[in-house]
């Protein structure tokens, strides 16, 4: 069974067609890279898949569930528990420390405890951010902010990871570490959709799809 399946998905903003009928599917455990020119609708696609905004028309199935037929409560549960979304702009709260930013989704789910702290420590170690957890987000470098945003998405142990240019601010070695981590998560059964401009990052994916003129094609 496909873990994610979208069929003929369309989206316009104020009459401007951004997605003109996107169709693709992703299996459980698969990593898919989404490439395409700036403005081709890559971030819009991830945004819609995150369930934050509705698609205009078409179908979207996640783990066999028809997302368009979900109630608001079901949609909120799905966003909270199944999807880890790493935004292109990181979206950290500047006045909070890295640790507090990562813990935020857990506080919101009232999930706090030693098991969680252990999980956070493991993720922080893998992302090489253990030393900066007590720094305020506004004092971090671009690459550090990016990895804190990745940690915040992973700490809820989501089944699906939507990553919008997750290596954009990272040097080659650090990017390699992050992509290896993604590959391991896929081996454990996660499904990852990763937008990237970077050819070597796309090389880690099982498949690459290209956005062009609001539709996507396989490469
Ligand atoms: N909320 C919105 N309101 C109006 N227009 C929008 C909105 N969101 C996206 N767009 C438009 O949709 C188009 C696609 O934007 P999107 O951010 O998805 O591109 P992208 O492929 O991610 O580009 P980049 O590689 O530069 O990040 C752009 O022309 C953008 O202006
Ligand atoms: Mg984008």
CA of 164 to the centre of ligand 2 (A): 7
In 101-136, which positions are buried (b, 16+ CB within 10 angstroms) versus exposed (e)? bbbebbeeeeeeeeebeebbeebbebbebeebbeeb
In a domain, 108, yes or no: yes
pLDDT tens digit string along 97-123? 999 999 988 877 766 666 677 889 999
CA 210 to ligand 1 centroid distance, Å = 15
* Average pLDDT, integer, range 49-56: 92
Which residue's CA lies nearest to atom 10 of ligand 1?
Answer: 13
Each residue's pLDDT tens digit, 129-142: 999 999 999 999 99
Overall average pLDDT of the 141-145 stretch: 95
Protein residues with CB under 6 Å of any ligand 1 atom? 13-14, 18, 36, 38-44, 88
Single pTM value for the model: 0.94
The verdict on residue 83 lying in a domain is no
Show the domain range for 101. 90-157
Residue 110, CA distances (Å) to 10, 46, 71, 80, 113 in order? 36, 26, 22, 12, 9
* Assigned domain for 146 exists: yes
- With respect to residue 54, please indicate whether it lies within any of the assigned structural domains: no
Mean pLDDT of the chain: 92
Query: Would 124 be classed as within a structural domain?
Result: yes
Q: Please give the pLDDT value at position 111.
A: 66
Which residues have a beta carbon within 5 Å of ligand 2, which is an ion? Answer: 43, 88
Q: Is residue 173 situated within a structural domain? A: no
Section 200-219 average pLDDT:
92
In a domain, 202, yes or no: no
Structural domain tally of the chain?
1
CA 50 to centroid of ligand 2, rounded, Å? 14
In a domain, 9, yes or no: no
Average pLDDT over residues 143-165: 95
Share of the chain above pLDDT 70, in %: 95
Nearest CA to ligand 1 atom 30: 39
């Amino acid at each position: 069974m496909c873990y994610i399946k979208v069929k003929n998905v369309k989206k316009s903003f104020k009459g401007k067609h951004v997605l003109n009928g996107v169709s693709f599917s992703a299996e459980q455990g698969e990593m898919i890279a989404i490439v395409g020119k700036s403005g081709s609708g890559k971030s819009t696609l991830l945004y819609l898949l995150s369930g934050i905004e509705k698609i205009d028309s078409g179908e979207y199935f996640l783990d066999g569930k028809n997302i368009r037929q979900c109630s608001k409560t079901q949609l909120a549960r799905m966003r909270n528990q199944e999807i880890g979304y790493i935004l292109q702009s990181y979206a950290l709260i500047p006045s909070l420390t890295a640790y507090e930013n990562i813990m935020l989704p857990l506080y919101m789910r009232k999930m706090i405890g030693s098991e969680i702290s252990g999980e956070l420590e493991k993720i922080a170690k893998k992302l090489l951010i253990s030393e900066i957890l007590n720094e305020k987000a506004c004092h971090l470098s671009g690459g550090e902010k990016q990895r804190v945003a990745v940690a915040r998405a992973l700490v809820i142990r989501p089944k699906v990871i939507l990553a919008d240019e997750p290596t954009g601010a990272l040097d080659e070695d650090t990017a390699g570490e992050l992509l290896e981590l993604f590959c391991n998560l896929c081996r454990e059964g996660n499904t990852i959709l990763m937008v990237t401009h970077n050819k070597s990052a796309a090389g880690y994916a099982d498949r690459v799809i290209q956005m062009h003129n609001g539709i996507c094609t396989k490469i």
